[in-house]
Amino acid sequence: METGTGYAQWRMAALFALTLTCVVATLLFAHTLMFPIIGAITLAVVTQPLSVWLRKRWSPTLAGIAMVVLVSLVLFVPMYVLIKHLVVQAIALARYVESGGVDDFFAELAVKHPKLGDAIQNAITQFAPGMSGRAIAGWSAPKLGQAFGAIVHGIVSIVLLLFFYFFLVRDEAVALRAWESILPLRDDETFDFSRKLRDIIDAIFAGRLLIAMLQGVASGVAYWLVGVPGALLWGFVTFICCLIPAFGAFLAWVPICLYVGLVLSWTKCLILAIWCSAVVSTMDNFLYPVFVGKKTDLHTGVVFVAIFGGLAFFGISGFILGPVLVASAILLLQIWKQRLAEAGVH
């Protein structure tokens, strides 16, 4: 009897070890596909209302194809055009720096504003001795090579993302059943967890991200109108900065306004500052309630930690994975709090 019990326990332990090995191995090779997988899931959640509407009228396969085409036209084709122009402007900026344009800029600035030029030169001498345009070019050249490699990797990831997205749209019912079977929660908890997670994803990606994009467009157009060189590039930088809560937009447009005032015209600087402070920096206050409403009360600081913490830890896939993990952690903690309250533990 003891032999039979010991044999059964050994089989159970072997099954557990085999299962753990397979799961770990799967996660290791799936890690390279983390961005397209998580991106496809996030995109499927955000676009679910439209995909459901299409599946009611068309076959699941046709609805999946239509959603892939629509997402490509709305998101990825404009993204390709944007990246293409960003690369062109980044190369032009690198050539400007390499040709000594930065040194010439500071020399002209010292002539126009002697005190300011001397202050900048003293600061460079004190905090960054030996810095020059060519030194910056020598530092930035390898970074450009890395950027081109990242662009190629990004294109491959987007193709895979669309591939996974098609199957999620076509087989949504199967995916939802698999999701519900994996979660170790009660039925009511699974429903609440899935609903709140979808709302948080909508708030972050259809809310914060979309508003930051609109802020980047509004600022980029203004930069172009006042004559800022590389307006598209600096509009993209403003978009990235706008993801930072509260003061993110100021980090981008304030230095650009100073550049416009010192190099172009103080009148243009004043016009740009009024536009950016009155429209760009306040846009999220008006648009966030419209896009998100009362779906979630997720604090902007949490959004900041989720996005930039995810980027720092996971790389580019962390842009999506970070918010999803933070949202999941918050919801799971709420479930534990509810269970403890039901058990009478305070």
CA 248 to chain centre: 14
Angstrom distance (rounded) from CA 272 to CA 341:
54
Residues in the chain: 346
Q: What is the reported pLDDT for 120?
A: 59
Q: Are 44 and 169 in contact (CB under 8 A)?
A: yes
Q: Are 64 and 166 in contact (CB under 8 A)?
A: yes
Q: Are 290 and 301 in contact (CB under 8 A)?
A: no
Q: Are 325 and 316 in contact (CB under 8 A)?
A: no
The conformational region for residue 246 under phi > 0 = left, psi -120 to 50 = alpha, else beta, is left
CB proximity list for 244: less than 8 A, separation 6 or greater: 251, 304, 308
Angstrom distance (rounded) from CA 158 to CA 79:
11
How many CB atoms lie under 10 A from the CB of residue 288?
16
CB proximity list for 310: less than 8 A, separation 6 or greater: 317, 318, 319, 320, 321, 322, 323, 325, 326
How many CB atoms lie under 10 A from the CB of residue 11?
10
Angstrom distance (rounded) from CA 167 to CA 178:
14
Angstrom distance (rounded) from CA 63 to CA 106:
57
Task: At 77, list the tokens.
Answer: 């084709």
Q: What is the reported pLDDT for 166?
A: 92
Q: What is the reported pLDDT for 141?
A: 52
Enter the pTM of the model. Answer: 0.64
Q: What is the reported pLDDT for 292?
A: 61
Q: Largest Cα–Cα distance in the chain?
A: 96
> Where does 202-247 have alpha helices with state H?
210-226, 231-242
- Cite the beta strand spans of the chain per DSSP E: none
Can you spell out the DSSP letters for 118-131? HHHHHHHHHHSTT-
Helix axes 133-170, 77-98, angle to 10 degrees: 170
Question: φ and ψ at 130, to 5 degrees?
Answer: 85, 0
Q: What is the reported pLDDT for 1?
A: 46
Q: What is the reported pLDDT for 270?
A: 92
CB proximity list for 158: less than 8 A, separation 6 or greater: 36, 76
Task: At 139, list the tokens.
Answer: 């530092």
pLDDT in tens, 98-147: 666 556 666 666 666 666 656 656 655 555 555 555 555 555 555 555 65
CA 329 to chain centre: 19
* H/E stretch holding 114: helix 114-127
Q: What is the reported pLDDT for 9?
A: 77
Spell out the per-residue pLDDT of the chain, length 346, in tens: 455 666 677 888 888 888 888 888 877 777 777 778 888 888 888 788 888 899 888 888 998 899 999 888 877 777 777 777 767 777 776 666 666 655 666 666 666 666 665 665 665 555 555 555 555 555 555 555 565 666 677 778 888 888 899 998 998 888 888 887 888 888 888 888 888 888 777 777 767 778 888 888 898 899 989 888 878 878 888 888 887 766 778 888 888 888 888 778 888 889 999 998 888 888 877 776 666 655 566 666 777 777 778 877 877 667 777 877 888 888 888 888 888 887 776 5
Angstrom distance (rounded) from CA 330 to CA 346:
19
Q: Is the dihedral of CA 130, 131, 137, 141 positive or negative?
A: positive
CB proximity list for 291: less than 8 A, separation 6 or greater: 206, 207, 210, 211
